[in-house]
Amino acid sequence: MMKEEHYCRICGLYMKDKPWGDDGQSPTYEICPCCGVEFGNEDYDLFSIKEYRKEWLKNGANWFDKKKKPVFWDVNKQLMNVPEYFD
Reported confidence tier of residue 83, pLDDT bands at 50, 70, 90: confident
Instruction: Tell me the mean pLDDT in the region 8-29.
Output: 93
1 pLDDT above the threshold of 70: no
38 pLDDT above the threshold of 60: yes
Q: Which amino acid is at 24?
A: G
Nearest to 8 by CA among 36, 76, 25: 36
Tell if the pTM clears 0.85, that is, is over it. Answer: yes
What average pLDDT does the chain have? 94
27 pLDDT above the threshold of 80: yes
pLDDT of residue 2: 53
How many C-beta atoms lie closer than 10 Å to residue 83's C-beta?
A: 16
